Structure 1
Amino acid sequence: MASGQADPAITAQRAAQMLERAAIALTEAEGARDRVRALSEAVRGYEEGLIALREGLRQATLRERVLVMRLDAKREEVARLLGALQTIQRAPAPLLLLHPSGPVGTARSGMILSEITPALQSQARTLGAELSELQVLRLLQESAAATLSEGLDGAQKARIALSRAVADRTDLPRRFAADPAALARLAESSQTLDSFADGLSRQEVTALESGAGEAEAPDRFAGARGRLPLPVDGKLLRRFEEADAAGVRRPGIVLATRPRALVTSPWPATIRYRGPLLDYGNVMILEPAADFLLVIAGLKEVYGEVGEIIPAGAPIGLMGGEAPEERDFLTVGVKDDGGSREETLYMEVRQANVPMDPADWFRLTEE
């Protein structure tokens, strides 16, 4: 294999180990004190393992194509090489060296043969190594099917278990009691996300004595500027105020994500709103600190209740789309990045209801 290329077998082995650890985490989550946290880690483990496995299969597919094309291109050369090697192997050594022109010709033929034979043997070794590698790659692809099936099944079970655990959760503190009717009226009357966020920040709520007090101080959250983890495993698709295909500019960023990806809170926060809003799909609005709002939109499922205080890394929902199937992993394209990113998540950061560029706050990865 060429220098600098990852070994598909090593990548696939690492993926299998990651999926095995995720399966163990899923089993242990049943008895965990914090099932939501444990199941979130299991879901993430499955996601990372499946991404790694897909990358291993992609590398194997690309390497197989290179080897097949190389062998096809050298088909005639290989045939001549095999014929020459067979002739040398069958013929007695003295006969090979004998030349009809006499001793001088015989000497010359011996010198030529002594130079050609190592080259032929070197070519044969190279050919044998490539054929062996091709066989290993095909065995790798076949063996990955069982690992893949178990991983996809485990990931789906982990997502279902996580949804149930979040629904059953009763241990989160609540900062205030929400008025569902007032939230519904605000959502119906708002024409834009700006007006909704403004109304939300002005909305009066009933504080709870059992809550954790006021929202976190703004300076501590501001100190995390530029270091916040993304709420989902995604890549930057559209920047702040960048026009989309229809020419619409939004004061947020768009991330490309994989179907059914887990979305988590990047910072300890209070849930201010969850549910459908305008044309943004399901929206989760978090308050990580006084005067700050994180708007996360485009989820298929949303977790938690308004007023709850959630820790950093807590699951807040799942992306939409169909969970990948085996054929999606086994038919990998040359330009595939290790997993299709067909879903999009929209995100805004607001301070005193003024949109700020999320790129200044989060660690972003561009395509």
Structure 2
Amino acid sequence: MRGLRGHIIAASLALACASGTALAEPDPGAAAREAVAQLEAASVALAQAKGGRDRVKSLTGVVQAYETGLTALRAGLRRAAIREAQLSKQLKAQEAEIARLLGVLQSMGKGPPEVILVHPGGPMGTARSGMILADVTPALEKSAADLRRDLEEVTILRSLQEGAAETLQGGLEGAQDARTELSKAIADRTDLPKRFIEDPVQTALMIASTETLEGFASALVDLQVDGMQEIDLPDVMDRKGNLRLPVEASVLRRAGEADAAGIRRPGLVLATRPSALVVTPSAATIRFRGPLLDYGNVMILEPQPGVLFVLGGLAQVYGDAGEVIPEGAPIGLMGGNGLESGAILSQSGDASGNARSETLYIEVREGKAPVDPELWFQTNEDG
């Protein structure tokens, strides 16, 4: 009886200690389930936005909702995969204790009551054994409940990951549909005010005579455009230091940091996801859009005279030079075809951030001089 009692206590304590660690963990599947709900809501919003009055604004919100939902789902699946692996490892490590406990309980269940209750020490020993078993029983019940909960959680997390492929693929297709609809809506847009009409010959001559981005931006500041209208825009200087980045991203290189070739630039290099939507951080006039030097497609925005936001590296740009666009308006898309659902799932078990394969360059110029973009933009968020 003494050996049986010792086995019960040891096994129950081992299981209780191991299970106690899991109790402090938050539900890792909650974020993934919330992300699925976000993607479903985005799908509904896409159907509504196609026939809405302000289609550009509505579809911009839908694209951003899809991007947020896909990012959240990937993060949720990563946490779920990590948690499932931890639980599986934990349960495997407890196999000996679980088998030991089951063996003890099975032995107790097979023995006749009179044998279990009679103790060699007589009535006092029997009484003590009864009290010990009464003390141990709640711990056994708690251990069994914790074990059952962990097994159920493993089942739920595995089911969540197995069903994620279809959800991810649907989200990726929905996001692409929203981007296509957005491009069409922008092409059909006719309600934007215009400060000037671009002279394509003049622009082409400027590009041909430019060897650096700095030279082009300086020439743009000096450029006298015939018939340029004055349009009042909110004073962007009041928001200096508080502007949001134009795309969901993380900082790859800060101003003045050398790249792999040892080249230092005065702007920020941001790592973004493929096909990410880029929006204007404030109301602004489009001063230039198109290919420039080795920066890919470039968008130069003028939120107010003497201030330029230069964004380079876009695969697609929206709008025309001279248009005045409101804050949050889409100005382009990053490159890449977007990740396939299988690729996202294969990365869900790590946090390497390899999905951010595109780069956007941001430069801010006050007058003709570049300034650190972090004096203007908030970059302390984990993109």
Contact 1:236-1:366 within 8 A present in 2 as well: no
Contact 2:165-2:342 within 8 A present in 1 as well: no
Contact 1:18-1:49 within 8 A present in 2 as well: yes
Equivalent residue, structure 1, for 2:297: 282
Residue 112 (structure 1) shift: 4.2
Decide which of 19, 27, 36 is 1:7's aligned counterpart: 27
Q: Quick check: 350-359 or 135-144, which moved more?
A: 135-144
Partner secondary structure for residue 378 of structure 2: coil
Residue 86 (structure 1) shift: 2.0
Contact 1:272-1:286 within 8 A present in 2 as well: yes
Residue 316 (structure 1) shift: 0.5
Decide which of 200, 210, 214 is 2:230's aligned counterpart: 214
Matches of 2:271 and 2:358, distance apart in 1? 6
Q: Give the TM-score taking structure 1 as reference length.
A: 0.91
Matches of 2:23 and 2:237, distance apart in 1? 44
Residue 3 (structure 1) shift: 6.5
Partner secondary structure for residue 263 of structure 1: strand
Partner secondary structure for residue 82 of structure 2: helix
CA separation of 1:350 and 1:253: change in aligned 2, threshold 3 A: same
Equivalent residue, structure 2, for 1:351: 366
Residue 329 (structure 1) shift: 2.8
Decide which of 153, 158, 162 is 1:133's aligned counterpart: 153
Contact 1:52-1:338 within 8 A present in 2 as well: no
5+ residue gaps in structure 2?
Answer: 1-20
Letter in 1 for 2:180: I
Letter in 1 for 2:280: S
Equivalent residue, structure 2, for 1:73: 93
Matches of 1:354 and 1:197, distance apart in 2? 9
Matches of 2:44 and 2:128, distance apart in 1? 69
CA separation of 1:145 and 1:265: change in aligned 2, threshold 3 A: same
Q: Give the TM-score taking structure 2 as reference length.
A: 0.88
Contact 2:75-2:348 within 8 A present in 1 as well: no
What fraction of aligned residue pairs are identical, expressed as a percent? 52
Decide which of 151, 161, 173 is 1:153's aligned counterpart: 173
**What is the RMSD computed on CA atoms of the aligned residues?**
2.2
Equivalent residue, structure 2, for 1:33: 53
Equivalent residue, structure 1, for 2:351: 336
Partner secondary structure for residue 310 of structure 2: strand
5+ residue gaps in structure 1?
Answer: none
CA separation of 1:249 and 1:4: change in aligned 2, threshold 3 A: farther
Matches of 2:280 and 2:85, distance apart in 1? 42
- Per-residue CA distance 1:319-355 (angstroms, 9 max, x = gap): 1123121113322355417882221111011011110
Residue 192 (structure 1) shift: 0.7
Matches of 1:33 and 1:249, distance apart in 2? 45
Contact 2:286-2:323 within 8 A present in 1 as well: yes
Decide which of 301, 306, 310 is 1:291's aligned counterpart: 306
Equivalent residue, structure 1, for 2:65: 45
Decide which of 318, 322, 342 is 1:307's aligned counterpart: 322
